Amino acid sequence: MPKVCAICGKGPLFGQTLSHSHKASKKKWKPNLQRVKAQTDKGVQHIWVCARCLRSGKVIKAV
């Protein structure tokens, strides 16, 4: 599974989680990607799209 949105290019974010004692551990936040059958310039394809692009109507779903 790819880790970026095909429409907006949103990918994983990296950072640190801080505990109560202020001990840092590495963390990775992944985007909410959905596999959708969509109309593209190459025809109908299955692409990975983030939930925000789906919700905002940036993707034309194929039937």
* Strand-pair partners of 14: 28
Which CATH number is correct for 1-63, 1.10.760.10, 3.40.190.10, 2.30.170.40, 3.40.50.300? 2.30.170.40
- Taking every pair of Cα atoms in the chain, the longest distance, rounded to a whole number of angstroms, is 54
Sequence letter at residue 49: V
Whether pTM > 0.85 for this model: the answer is no
- pLDDT tens per residue across all 63 residues of the chain: 679 999 999 999 999 999 999 999 999 999 999 999 999 999 999 999 999 999 999 999 998
Taking the C-alpha atoms of residue 4 and residue 18, their distance in angstroms, rounded to an integer, is 26
Phi-psi region of 22 (alpha: psi -120 to 50; beta: other; left: phi over 0): left
Collapsing DSSP to helix, strand or coil, 54 comes out as helix
